[in-house]
């Protein structure tokens, strides 16, 4: 095969430039700005500021509200990730077996993907509405007095349910294509060795899906931590009250609602560090152990 190359360094540099510019303007510059702001307390209108060193960070450590949000984020991320992955996997395995009307089933399972998070939140609000929501009435049949926005647990339940529902289709698409890329010969060989469908799934299918699963694990953690913002915002209706919120939402509440730029920047720096850690974990710890054929 012929090796293509550039004769001068200019062309590749020029080709890279747009991408680099986008990263610099929309990522590095704001990130640097946030890092700087996190050491200051600043007048919202930008008139005055005071250098406060690490006090924005130390006040996070001592804040009961922040630690509640942090624990909720951990709990929320685990449940949303596990819930959306397992439901999607189950649906994908079942949909993979369907032969008649397969396309219809698949389309129906996928189309929630097109719903924007705030819209998903609105649908959640309607379904769980405290005075007339259909799901609220369904729960009432079992004696569960569901109260969205009043009861911490119930509000968390609604946020988690909507977030999972919204994410299942993406996972489903990936799992389904992962399943379909498992060679037929492998499956047939497995069929001879093991008659139990469950056994074949855990011994053959599941390990072969591992690369897809790992990729989805990382994207789902990111989704639960960051992209559920729209869902949470709609469910809280702009009045956080005593309801649960994730760390990303707290950055918004303190910074954009409360106008505390320094405190909010410190929180976003904490999140940047978390993302960095997640990325290192992804590349160092697991990529080595998972084989992408």
Instruction: Determine the 3-state secondary structure of 7 from DSSP.
Output: coil
> Binder to other proteins among 57, 70, 96, 130 (CB under 8 A)?
130
> Binder to other proteins among 34, 37, 39, 52 (CB under 8 A)?
52
Least distance (Å) between residue 158 CB and other proteins: 12
Max Cα separation, the chain?
76
5 binds other proteins (CB under 8 A): no
How far apart, in whole angstroms, are the C-alpha atoms of residue 169 and residue 111? 7
Least distance (Å) between residue 59 CB and other proteins: 7
> Binder to other proteins among 112, 194, 210, 240 (CB under 8 A)?
240
Nearer to other proteins among residue 36 and residue 237 (C-beta): 237
Beta bridge partners, 41, equal 50
User: Binding-site residue total for other proteins (CB under 8 A)?
Assistant: 39
How far apart, in whole angstroms, are the C-alpha atoms of residue 102 and residue 122? 30
If we measure between CA atoms, which residue out of 272, 267, 233 comes closest to residue 247? Answer: 267
> Binder to other proteins among 33, 36, 94, 257 (CB under 8 A)?
257
159 burial type by CB count under 10 A (0-12 exposed, 13-18 middle, 19+ buried): buried
Nearer to other proteins among residue 131 and residue 198 (C-beta): 131
> Binder to other proteins among 37, 106, 254, 268 (CB under 8 A)?
254
Which uninterrupted H or E stretch holds 51? strand 49-51
If we measure between CA atoms, which residue out of 244, 238, 243, 271 comes closest to residue 256? Answer: 238
Least distance (Å) between residue 40 CB and other proteins: 9
Cα 262 to the chain's mean position, in Å?
Answer: 26
Segment 55 to 94, residues that bind other proteins, using CB under 8 A: 59, 63-65
**Residues near other proteins (CB under 8 A):** 41-50, 52, 59, 63-65, 130-131, 147-152, 237-243, 253-254, 256-260, 262-263
């Amino acid at each position: 095969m012929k090796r293509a190359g550039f004769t001068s360094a200019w062309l590749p540099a020029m080709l890279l430039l747009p991408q680099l510019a986008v990263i610099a303007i929309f990522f590095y510059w704001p990130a640097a700005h946030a890092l700087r702001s996190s050491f200051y307390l600043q007048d919202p209108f930008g008139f005055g500021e005071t250098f406060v060193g690490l006090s924005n960070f130390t006040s996070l450590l001592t804040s009961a509200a922040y630690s509640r949000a942090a624990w909720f984020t951990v709990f929320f991320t685990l449940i949303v990730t596990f819930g959306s992955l397992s439901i999607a996997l189950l649906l994908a395995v079942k949909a993979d077996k369907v032969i008649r009307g397969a396309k219809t089933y698949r389309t129906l399972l996928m189309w929630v993907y097109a719903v924007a998070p705030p819209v998903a939140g609105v649908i959640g609000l309607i379904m769980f509405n405290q005075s007339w929501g259909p799901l609220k009435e369904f729960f009432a049949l079992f004696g569960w007095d569901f109260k969205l926005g009043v009861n911490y647990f119930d509000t968390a339940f609604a946020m988690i349910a909507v977030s999972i529902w919204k994410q299942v289709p993406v996972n489903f698409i990936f799992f389904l294509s992962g399943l379909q890329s498992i060679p037929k010969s492998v499956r047939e060989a497995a069929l001879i060795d093991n008659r139990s469908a469950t056994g074949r799934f855990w011994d053959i299918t599941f390990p072969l899906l591992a690369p897809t699963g790992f990729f989805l694990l990382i994207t789902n953690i990111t989704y639960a931590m960051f992209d559920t913002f729209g869902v949470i915002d709609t469910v809280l209706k702009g009045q956080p009250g005593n309801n649960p919120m994730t760390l990303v939402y707290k950055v918004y509440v303190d910074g954009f609602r409360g106008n505390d730029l320094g405190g909010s920047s410190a929180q976003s720096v904490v999140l940047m560090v978390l993302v960095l850690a997640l990325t290192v974990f992804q590349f160092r710890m697991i990529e080595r152990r998972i084989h992408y054929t």
